Structures are given as C-alpha cells and as structure tokens.
Chain A
Amino acid sequence: KNQVEQSPQSLIILEGKNCTLQCNYTVSPFSNLRWYKQDTGRGPVSLTIMTFSENTKSNGRYTATLDADTKQSSLHITASQLSDSASYICVVSDTNAGKSTFGDGTTLTVKP
C-alpha cells in the first residue's frame, strides 16, 4: 500500500532560524514528489516538484532534496520568516495515471 509519512507533525522555530521537514514514502513506481505550502484557510500552493533524476531543487529560501534509493525527501527552509508559518504537505505520485498519495502535512510556526 502506498504511504507518505511526514515528520515532525508540528514544529515551532524562532524567526531567522533554519528548519528541515521530512517526507518518507513507499509509493511505487515513483513518478514525482511535490512539496506544497498551505496558508491557513487557503488551498495548498506548489513549492517544488522533484522527479526521479533530481536530487536537489531550490525555490528561494526553500530547498528540496530527494533520495530515490531510500525514498526520502526533505524540505529545508533557510532564514525563516513569520510568513513561513503554514502547513507543508508532501504529495507523491506514481506512474499509474493520476495516482497520488498525500502526506498529512507538517505545521510550521515561526515566532518573532
């Protein structure tokens, strides 16, 4: 059964600090992995998409990594800002048309 597990469930950090969110998956055969940021009450917005051949991809202060061998991905946030407070969701898709598995998300709170 395809599963996506995210950790930690929630995280509180001080403004300016770095943090790393984790996503482990068992989805197979793997097609791609997306990280989303969801502000409270809004729809999730895609931050980055990782395919099998990509190890690292950056989007501003967000850097995603993918280890397809261990089936792990991480989202690293550098120099956090108050606006980074949100839920971060990992979604992994397999090569079967349309099949995606969603993680439960990590809630990040950045405090001044």
Chain B
Amino acid sequence: EAGVTQSPTHLIKTRGQQATLRCSPISGHTSVYWYQQALGLALQFLLWYDEGEERNRGNFPPRFSGRQFPNYSSELNVNALELEDSALYLCASSWWGRGAFFGQGTRLTVV
C-alpha cells in the first residue's frame, strides 16, 4: 500500500510569510496527526484531525492552523512565520487495527 505522503519535502520561507504543508494519508485512514520536531528534540503534538474535524490541539499559538478535506488529506498552515518555526513537520495517519504511519516530513526553514 502507498504510504503517507507529505509535500513539499523542503520549504524555505522568510520571516513573516505564510507556509502551507500538505499531507496525504494512507487510503482508508481517517485520522491525521501533525507534529513539529525541532532539530534534536522530541515530537511536539500540533493537531489531530479525524473525519474532517479538529479533534485535539497541542500547545501552539493560533497562527498554527489546519484543516482536513473530505478525502482525508490535510493541510497545515503556519502564518506570520518566526525563526523558531524552523523544524521538521511530520504527518501521521492512522486507522484502528493498524496503528499510525508517518510520512517523511517537510523540512521548513525560516530565514
């Protein structure tokens, strides 16, 4: 089966700009999770979407937002980028009985 795909692989933005990251879950998976991982640090939970709705949100400011589309793909939007937003952003999809699968991530660099 095709895995979780994230795009773009790398993204370079200027401070103050907006970034949009995309995630396509494994076919049939209804849940999508977004995580931020700064270099060398643990995963930080951002958002959880299931069946098109936001189910849970991590301790991040409102400029981090997202949505899930009817086909269960998801977007993560980061507005007013700050230098400390530079990180690897991981998406995972899951469905009961199989657990979660991760994408390869989007490396966001804010300069």
Contact = CB atoms under 8 A, between A and B. Distances in A.
Contacts, number: 79
A100 B33 contact: yes
A112 interface: no
Interface in A84-112: 87, 89, 91, 93-100, 102, 104-105
B99 A98 contact: no
Interface string B27-63: 0011101010001101101000011000000000000
B102 A44 contact: yes
B43 A105 contact: yes
| Interface residue SS majority, chain A | strand
Among A43, A89, A94, A97, the most chain B Cβ lie within 10 Å of the Cβ of A43
B102 A100 contact: no
Contacts of A36: 102
B96 A95 contact: yes
B64 interface: no
Given A43-B90, A97-B50, A98-B31, A105 B99 contact: no
A98 B29 contact: yes
A38 B27 CA distance: 23
B43 A102 contact: yes
A49 B99 CA distance: 8
Interface of A: 31-34, 36, 40-46, 49, 87, 89, 91, 93-100, 102, 104-105
Interface of B: 4, 6, 29-31, 33, 35, 39-40, 42-43, 45, 50-51, 88, 90, 92, 94-105, 107
